[in-house]
Structure 1
Amino acid sequence: MSCPSFADYKPSRLSEGVLMTETSDASEEDRERARAEFIATFGAKPRWLIRGLAFGMLAMASVNALSYFWRSDHWGSLLGEVRMRGESIGFPFEIWESGNTYGGLFADYPMIGANILVAFVMSLPIGILAAWKSPWLNDLMLAAFADVDVRDENEANQPIQFSIQSLMIATTVAAVLAMLATRFAVRRETLVCIYALGPLGLVLLAMLPRRLSWQQRVIILMPCAISLIVVAMVVGQKLGIDFDKVLMGIFLCWTPQSALAAIGLLCAIFVRLAKYQPADAVAE
């Protein structure tokens, strides 16, 4: 089965920057006008430049979070072990060290600025590449939106369903959560699970229902993520851990996981769509 291309469709409406299409024998003029409208609202080169920069900055933010684990002599403060020294974070330059108040600023802001500048410089080639390849990327996005629109139209009036596999996963997740709540509710193991498995659990929870659009899955993710953070803060408070340490642990552990998942998913989608592009489109 081949992925539909933009040439097979004509525009029916444009909502929030997304081109909605339907199969037809539209004229070449209509298709070109629709493509121009799409590029003006979504696929312009400056927009792809910004997306490429954001992609690179997200990767650099993840490296900064991971730097804590190789710069620090210990990680125990994330679980309530009070130590005045031995922790630091920052890539390529150190921006924070435990026990250093930095003259009341609590962080080395000049080094933060330097790290942001380095991240921008390292992300700029990605942004330039995205802008250069914007025609090809636009073709991929048009095909993706067309495919999503067709599936949304077919499933709009169908009820939300869970597959047998989804129900088994949901039951397992519920059982694990119940076990943690009863046996490790106010223990360090609970924080370890939230730090290490929080993003994975949230994604599994959002992906379990079938026939949901990605917007609906995001709606599921947002309150669940906030709730899990609140649970972590409550557990930390019961253990006598400062809330800023709990939030730092969530940032340090969740940021790399979320970034890797987002980057991997984005690359997988583009690779999958690229397989269905005709050779002449790829050559362009």
Structure 2
Amino acid sequence: MRFDVITLFPELIAPFTQAGIVRRAFDSGQIVLRLWNPRDFAEGNYRRVDDRPFGGGPGMVMMAEPLARCLQAVRADRGEAGGEQAPVVLFSPIGDTLRHQAVERWAASSGAVLICGRYEGIDQRFIDRYVTHQISLGDFVLSGGEIAALALIDAVARLQPGVLNDEGSHQFDSFNPAVDGLLDCPHYTRPEAWEGESAPAALMSGHHAQIERWRRDQRLALTQRHRPELIAAARASGLLDRADEAFLAQQAPADRA
């Protein structure tokens, strides 16, 4: 799998490959990450990549030509001259919100070219001609697409075989539709008592069925309280059993709000 990131600030991306548990995905070669600066493909002494917007207004707009030249260099390096071309992803407020299902699709893909915009945006002509997917992290604005690119790459990297210490640990991540799409349960570790509060007795019981039931109930309660639409989706998909429904029925009205 290969990701090519087109960014004016490659120094924001490069350290990511050598930090944290996802480093294994890069060290093993499961994910190849290449960084490209469109300024290297701009003309003139100043290597200009932006200009004032037509029609006036604040800020600057990234020019289409340096981005197009950069993308062509990426495609040549990927050997795509006459074959299938990798998807071109732009991180944008109008894009589809990144969700677990989409991460799983990207994790099973051969990668993509990621475009990190800056300033007021990118010349729409480049977007219309080259961009195949647009992705958003949510209803807020970042100063550039680098954080969004890192979020996607991180989410994809941790799903690669061997990256996590426990191969099954991601199966119960929040939002995983392969299980039920619910939020994860709370977690506790040593010491058993901390600042006058004890860890839940069920987790200390050594009774595996009791532990699993407690965790399941906590997942249901948290999801019902904070993301009730996920409960509705799990119910519609037949992923809640009688014990789940009985627990939910016992929750206080405030928890069901």
TM range (shorter): under 0.3
The structure whose residues are more often strand, as a share, is 2
The structure whose residues are more often helix, as a share, is 1
Greater length-normalized contact order (CA 8 Å, ≥ 6 residues apart): 1
TM-score, with normalisation over the residues of structure 1? 0.20
TM-score, with normalisation over the residues of structure 2? 0.22
